[in-house]
């Protein structure tokens, strides 16, 4: 249960959340459902159906959460996700792009070409594709909000390809905000820092195995904590709250901004 809930904040609003099986995406979907949203959840893991069932039980109005199993590293997956939300609710008021995350932790010279491409596909392309897929419906409606989940790891050790991908998300946010504003569409982002979360239900595929890989990952953790003013990791609820604020009408005069949510680390 989130420590703070704003009942009715997303009442009758169609909200699409990607990467919703676990972590920040799952927690965002939980809060939006509790606040009355008409929610569509997307993930490439087949657990998404069970997650949607669990979330549906939380809806104060009895709304059914719509699950979509799709690979958002492809435009076809993004189009299918948008189509499912439009079919279910007739519109998409809010898109929350949460897919991404470091796969490997290592100095840049230790990455293979294939690993670099995989990091960019994981942490940049899902946001690019989803923004492209959702924009026509939002432009046609003359309204909409896109919230991209970036990262302060644009300044971080042992994950340069991920940092470059999230830098791309920041650039997309600011550039697309300029294009979309005349159509009544806002584009914003948060940049989370280190975040405490339950053990992952689905691995990203780059789990540290050797002692050297574990040491490189430890360097990431140490640098993340040292970079914060508050000297600790954040919680899922501390990440969800600003995402939901930016997604809501309370933030109606904010666009093109990326908000660091990292205990004082500005990225």
Q: What is the pLDDT of residues 68-87, one digit of tens each?
A: 999 999 999 999 999 999 99
What pTM value is reported for the model?
A: 0.96
Q: Looking at the domain 14-260, which fold is it?
A: Rossmann fold (3.40.50)
Close Cβ partners of 163 (under 8 Å, ≥ 6 residues apart):
151, 153, 154, 155, 156
Q: Rg for the chain (alpha carbons), in Å?
A: 18
Size (the chain), residues:
267
Report pLDDT digits (tens) over 3-40: 999 999 999 999 999 999 999 999 999 999 999 999 99
201-220 residues labelled b (16+ CB within 10 A) or e (exposed): eeeeebeeeeeebeebbeeb
Q: pLDDT value at position 242?
A: 98
Residue 255 confidence (pLDDT) above 80: yes
Q: What is the pLDDT of residue 256?
A: 98
pLDDT at 182 over 70: yes
Per-residue pLDDT tens over the stretch 52-63: 999 999 999 999
Among 82-86, 133-137, 181-185, 195-199, the range scoring the smallest mean pLDDT is 195-199
Q: Taking 80 as the threshold, does the pLDDT of residue 206 lie above it?
A: no
Q: Which percentage of the chain shows pLDDT scores above 70? A: 100
138 Ramachandran zone, left/alpha/beta (phi>0; psi -120 to 50): alpha
Decide: 60 and 7 in contact? Cβ < 8 Å: yes
The distance in angstroms from the start CA to the end CA of the chain is 30
Q: Which two tokens stand for residue 19?
A: 């990467």
Looking at every residue in the chain, the average pLDDT score rounds to 96
Runs of H (alpha helix) within 181-267 = 211-227, 236-247
pLDDT digits (tens, 9 = 90+) for 220-240: 999 999 999 999 999 999 999
What pLDDT does residue 208 have? 66
pLDDT per residue over 82-107, tens digit each?
999 999 999 999 999 999 999 999 99
Which token pair is 162? 């991920």
Q: Which of 108, 111, 162, 217 is catalytic?
A: 162
- pLDDT value at position 233? 95
Q: What is the pLDDT of residue 267?
A: 85
Half-sphere exposure of residue 56: CA atoms within 13 angstroms, side-chain side: 12
pLDDT in tens, 114-127: 999 999 999 999 99
Q: Assign 199 a pLDDT band (cuts: 50, 70, 90).
A: confident
* pLDDT band, very low/low/confident/very high, at 45 (cuts 50, 70, 90): very high
> Where is 149: in which H helix or E strand?
strand 144-149
pLDDT tens string 142-181: 999 999 999 999 999 999 999 999 999 999 999 999 999 9
Q: Is 217 a catalytic residue?
A: no
**Bridge-based pairing state of the strands 94-97 and 14-18:** parallel
């Amino acid at each position: 249960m989130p420590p703070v809930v704003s009942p009715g904040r997303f009442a009758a609003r169609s909200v699409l959340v990607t990467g919703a099986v676990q972590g920040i995406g799952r927690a965002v979907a939980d809060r939006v459902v509790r606040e009355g949203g008409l929610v569509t959840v997307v993930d490439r893991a087949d657990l998404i159906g069970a997650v949607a069932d669990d979330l549906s039980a939380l809806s104060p109005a009895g709304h059914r959460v719509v699950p979509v199993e799709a690979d958002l590293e492809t435009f076809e997956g993004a189009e299918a996700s948008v189509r499912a939300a439009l079919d279910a609710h007739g519109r998409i008021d809010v898109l929350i792009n949460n897919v991404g995350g470091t796969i490997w932790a290592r100095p840049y010279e230790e990455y293979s070409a294939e690993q670099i491409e995989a990091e960019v596909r994981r942490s940049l392309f899902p946001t690019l594709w989803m923004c492209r897929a959702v924009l026509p419906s939002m432009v046609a409606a003359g309204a909409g909000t896109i919230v991209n989940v970036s990262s302060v790891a644009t300044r971080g050790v042992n994950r340069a390809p991920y940092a470059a991908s999230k830098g791309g998300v920041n650039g997309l946010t600011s550039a697309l905000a300029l294009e979309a504003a005349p159509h009544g569409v806002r584009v914003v982002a948060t940049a989370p820092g280190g975040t405490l979360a339950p053990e992952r239900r689905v691995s990203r595929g780059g789990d540290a195995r050797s002692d050297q890989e574990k040491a490189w990952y430890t360097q990431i953790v140490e640098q993340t904590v040292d970079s914060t003013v508050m000297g600790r990791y954040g919680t899922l609820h501390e990440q969800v709250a600003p995402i939901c604020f930016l997604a809501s009408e309370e933030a109606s005069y904010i666009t093109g901004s990326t908000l660091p949510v990292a205990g004082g680390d500005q990225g």
